[in-house]
């Protein structure tokens, strides 16, 4: 090996929330005995915030507990908005159910955070962590795997080596492609329209999931009385909706959502993306593992994708830590195989639950409408039916 080449125990490709959380978890759990590099292509604009148009994600209470375990949650909590009430309904039909944090005896059902805030928080954490090297801005040009290590060529011209490469570079992971790992892609034939909305009535911690003839529509409470909209519609409808001016869009959305938050008074910029279920056919290979959206990307209908990915992160951190504490090679296939085997039940059950919800709730065929309304009414009447689904949605599952 070239003596001038810097060697790291772990190199994580992708420094967004999944990759950054893994780096910080490994540092904490291994008491700073591992050398870690994080390669991130985009520097956050630390002096700028997208303001009204900031994008958001929902963290389940299970995710926040995991983040608390490694000392990260207190920093993130300061800019989070708790969800203490979820209202689920079907437009034009009788199906209706509600969940409250009080009923489930938890502080919150989940929390909404803005990605700009999260990005700044994690970037600062990585930059100031003594055993993590943040290589940013930089991208990976090539990975050359040998028996005992992998050599990585960076866009900066630098070459580094590592015992283990981890892909955390998102839904269309270039790192997974470079490892010749095949993905299985199922097109939901839907487009998600994303925007921030202001309403007459302050949401006060209330989240809404509404099933409309166009597709499921979610409004999540954000800071400053805003709500984060995710509206799943057909590709044809998305073109029409994206073509509306703001007033027409708000009127169209009002008709679909109803008046539970009063009048919808303002919309931010609208973004959109096609919805797929993407799964890597394997999540490990020689000295390689995939986590988060690089491993699987889900439909947003129940807000499960990111939270499933965080459970991947902590399970992989556990497996690496056990190997490191035993003095074993953390990149060995047996270590990674234990991670893949451990994650499969949760991944399969969450994917099955999400895909099942899509087929039931994103389908306007008459039998499906009847079925889901009976289900919603039954759930509201017999609360015990709700517990297994609620625990999974909250991330309170074995990992």
Q: What is the pLDDT of residue 1?
A: 45
Whether residues 321 and 205 share a domain: the answer is no
94 confidence band (pLDDT: 50, 70, 90): very low
366 confidence band (pLDDT: 50, 70, 90): very low
Whether residues 110 and 86 share a domain: the answer is yes
Whether residues 217 and 310 share a domain: the answer is no
Tell me if 79 is assigned to some domain: yes
- Give tens-digit pLDDT for 1-38: 445 789 999 999 999 999 999 999 999 999 989 999 99
Whether residues 256 and 198 share a domain: the answer is yes
Q: What is the mean pLDDT of residues 257-282?
A: 92
Cβ–Cβ < 8 Å for 325, 33: no
Distance CA 296, CA 285 (A): 16
The SS3 of residue 342 is: helix
Tell me if 66 is assigned to some domain: no
Q: What is the pLDDT of residue 299?
A: 67
56-60 and 110-114: which strand pairing? antiparallel
Higher pLDDT, 366 or 31: 31
This prediction has a pTM of 0.88
Tell me if 101 is assigned to some domain: yes
- Give tens-digit pLDDT for 314-348: 999 999 999 999 999 999 999 999 999 999 888 88
368 confidence band (pLDDT: 50, 70, 90): very low
255 confidence band (pLDDT: 50, 70, 90): very high
Lowest model confidence (mean pLDDT) among 206-220, 282-296, 361-375: 361-375
Whether residues 106 and 193 share a domain: the answer is yes
- Residue 200's domain is classified under what CATH number? 3.30.9.10
Domain enclosing residue 90, as ranges? 73-114+188-275+361-393
Q: What is the pLDDT of residue 17?
A: 92
Tell me if 65 is assigned to some domain: no
Whether residues 340 and 292 share a domain: the answer is yes
Q: Is the pLDDT of residue 245 over 70?
A: yes
Whether residues 37 and 125 share a domain: the answer is yes
Tell me if 62 is assigned to some domain: no
> Around 310, how many Cα atoms within 13 Å sit in the side-chain half-sphere?
27
Q: What is the mean pLDDT of residues 185-200?
A: 91
Q: What is the pLDDT of residue 3?
A: 53
Tell me if 58 is assigned to some domain: no
Whether residues 122 and 258 share a domain: the answer is no
Lowest model confidence (mean pLDDT) among 113-117, 244-248, 303-307: 303-307
Distance CA 113, CA 66 (A): 16
Tell me if 80 is assigned to some domain: yes
Contacts of 344 (CB under 8 A, 6+ apart): none
Q: What is the pLDDT of residue 48?
A: 73
Whether residues 104 and 197 share a domain: the answer is yes
Whether residues 32 and 168 share a domain: the answer is yes
Which of 24-28, 366-370, 389-393 shows the highest mean pLDDT?
24-28
Average model confidence (pLDDT) for the chain?
86
Whether residues 381 and 237 share a domain: the answer is yes
CB atoms within 10 A of CB 47: 6
Whether residues 93 and 196 share a domain: the answer is yes
- Residue 13's domain is classified under what CATH number? 3.50.50.60
Which of 222-226, 374-378, 382-386 shows the highest mean pLDDT?
222-226
Count: domains in the chain: 2
Tell me if 1 is assigned to some domain: no
Distance CA 80, CA 111 (A): 6
Q: What is the DSSP string of 130-154?
A: TTEEEE-S--EEEEEE-SS-EEEEE
Six-digit token pair at 162?
């590592």
């Amino acid at each position: 090996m070239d003596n001038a080449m810097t060697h790291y125990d772990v190199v994580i490709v992708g420094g967004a929330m999944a990759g950054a959380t893994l780096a910080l978890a490994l540092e904490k759990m291994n008491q700073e005995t591992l050398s870690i590099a994080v390669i991130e292509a985009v520097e956050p604009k630390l002096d700028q915030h997208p303001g009204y148009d900031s994008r958001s994600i929902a963290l389940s209470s299970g995710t926040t507990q995991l983040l608390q375990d490694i000392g990260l949650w207190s920093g993130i909590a300061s800019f989070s908005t708790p969800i203490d009430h979820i209202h689920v309904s079907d437009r034009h039909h009788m199906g209706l159910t509600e969940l409250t944090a009080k009923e489930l005896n938890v502080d919150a059902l989940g929390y909404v955070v803005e990605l700009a805030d999260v990005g700044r928080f994690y970037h600062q954490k990585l930059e100031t962590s003594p055993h993590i090297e943040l290589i940013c801005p930089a991208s990976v040009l090539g990975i050359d795997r040998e028996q005992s290590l992998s050599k990585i060529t960076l866009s900066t011209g630098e070459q580094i080596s590592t015992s283990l490469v981890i892909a955390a570079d998102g839904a269309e992971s270039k790192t997974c492609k470079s490892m010749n790992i095949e993905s299985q892609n199922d097109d939901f034939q839907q487009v998600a329209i994303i925007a921030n909305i202001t309403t007459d009535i302050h949401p006060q911690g209330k989240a809404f999931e509404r099933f409309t003839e166009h597709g499921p529509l979610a409004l999540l409470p954000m800071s400053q009385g805003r709500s984060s909209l995710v509206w799943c519609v057909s590709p044809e409808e998305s073109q029409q909706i994206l073509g509306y001016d703001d007033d027409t869009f708000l009127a169209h959305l009002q008709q679909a959502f109803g008046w539970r938050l009063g009048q919808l008074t303002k919309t931010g910029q609208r973004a959109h993306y096609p919805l797929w279920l993407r799964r890597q056919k394997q999540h490990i290979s020689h000295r390689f593992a995939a986590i988060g959206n690089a491993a699987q990307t889900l439909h947003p209908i129940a807000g499960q994708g990111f939270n499933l990915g965080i459970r991947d992160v902590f399970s992989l951190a556990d497996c690496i830590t056990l190997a490191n504490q035993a003095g074993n090679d953390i990149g060995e296939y047996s270590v990674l195989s234990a991670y893949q085997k451990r994650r499969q039940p949760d991944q399969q059950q969450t994917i099955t639950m999400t895909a099942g919800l899509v087929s039931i709730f994103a389908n306007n065929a008459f039998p499906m409408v009847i079925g889901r309304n009976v289900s919603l009414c039954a759930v509201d009447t017999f609360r015990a039916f709700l517990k297994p689904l609620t625990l999974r949605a909250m991330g309170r599952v074995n990992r």
